[in-house]
Chains A and B, each alone.
Chain A
């Protein structure tokens, strides 16, 4: 663990900055409260207050940590680990939409990339649309997708997954087009001298060559998928999921709840991207490319 020290140093620095920012941002409220009560706050009392408010502008790290513990570990200990108040439950809801959207997006992305590489018409026509699709703000189009799909009787997981797919297919298309085109003219000529069929050239040359590009795209796509799922949960009326927690938190000014949902989402994203990284390492190692 050579890199443990630098990592811990960064974490400690961030925590220190966070605590300092919490004091700065929450001090006004603490002073106002004290003035109303006709008291003056000493510096230690002020700091103590800014780190323990109910609805602070910026909750202190330990407040978020306590909130996360109460909605995860503590509930597991009580045997209610999967109740509707648990962050595990909400994470699971968000994760299932993310995973489904990611799988759909990856499939769509690879299919489009194959089309673009093998079909001249698609090569000249599809890419501008793919890029245009990503210039539309997802926040604008997400409610439309939810409403339209609801109108045709599709609700629940699939509409959210569609939004995830909408965000995650893009990096996969771009990466896979580049990857499938990465074989050199010499390698393609070589296949020709063996009189290899188009199928054989694809499976034996183009697809293996594209693997490093694919995994890079998948990491970006996975993170985009999670953002898509969270955005997709906002217009559903805050039923369930990390997005719903964020929305509910902002309705009621529950900043601690917002922050704990944010941290949970970040942890989930890190775990998912890390999982892709692990699969990448294993795959490329087995292919002799790492």
Chain B
């Protein structure tokens, strides 16, 4: 484990006890995420990609193996507010304005009044929502709401961004646009991003590292280091290199699916 390792999982397992017997959501998962990585987790539903992300966030508790985040346990990392988490739904509070929603975690974490103002302004500009501070969530489109929720996760000083299918509910065009913005944001902020998705093009377009997972039991079947350059215009998706990586991801998914049936 080098000093640049942000997340390190070794033989991580999580078994849920259910009425129909144990369910192996994760089994012997090992992975290292380096500082500044953009890691995508891709796989069919039930492969444990969200569970893995929730383990990093200390929202689920592994039943075996070890997991460190920023060199400490996941719980300590959560307590020291080491990560921002973006959920599948924007989850903005309807009774708070966009600014108020972004301010909420800052208030909870005890940032000073002026610091709060400055941070809200800064992250709203970062996600291209300047001028929407006083609007209520229902006055914004779905894509704008999700951008506001990303802004909320960026507002405090966390070096890690955990994103659980943040664009899953949005249409293709909005999704392309947000993917592009997310890449720019990652370039500017130099955060480490873990991103759960079930879209192959999205995973290949965004990531420096693609983790292919398969279900029953949830495990990692392939880890693909992307050879694409850091700067990626949208039309990079038509290059042979891109299609090559996408092909390898698809193969990985098919293989994982094959031996599970």
Contact = CB atoms under 8 A, between A and B. Distances in A.
A184 B91 CA distance: 9
A187 interface: yes
B59 A189 contact: yes
Contacts of A289: 94-95
**Contact size range, B:** 20 to 34
A208 B93 CA distance: 9
Contacts of A187: 91
A186 interface: yes
A193 B136 CA distance: 23
Contacts, number: 50
A84 interface: no
Nearest to B79: A195
Given A190-B87, A194-B109, A204 B104 contact: yes
Q: Is the interface of B mostly helix, strand, loop or mixed?
A: loop
Nearest to A287: B95
Nearest to A201: B108
A155 interface: no
A196 B108 contact: yes
Given A189-B59, A193-B78, A288 B91 contact: no
Contacts of B57: 193
Chain A interface category by residue count: 10 to 19
B4 to A, nearest CB: 24
A138 to B, nearest CB: 36
Contact of B83 (A191, A193, A287, A288): A193
Given A208-B95, A288-B138, 15 more contacts: A184-B91, A186-B88, A187-B91, A189-B59, A190-B87, A191-B108, A192-B59, A193-B57, A193-B59, A193-B83, A194-B81, A204-B104, A288-B94, A288-B95, A288-B97
16 contacts: A189-B59, A189-B87, A191-B108, A192-B58, A192-B78, A193-B57, A193-B78, A193-B84, A193-B85, A194-B81, A194-B109, A195-B78, A195-B109, A204-B107, A205-B93, A288-B136
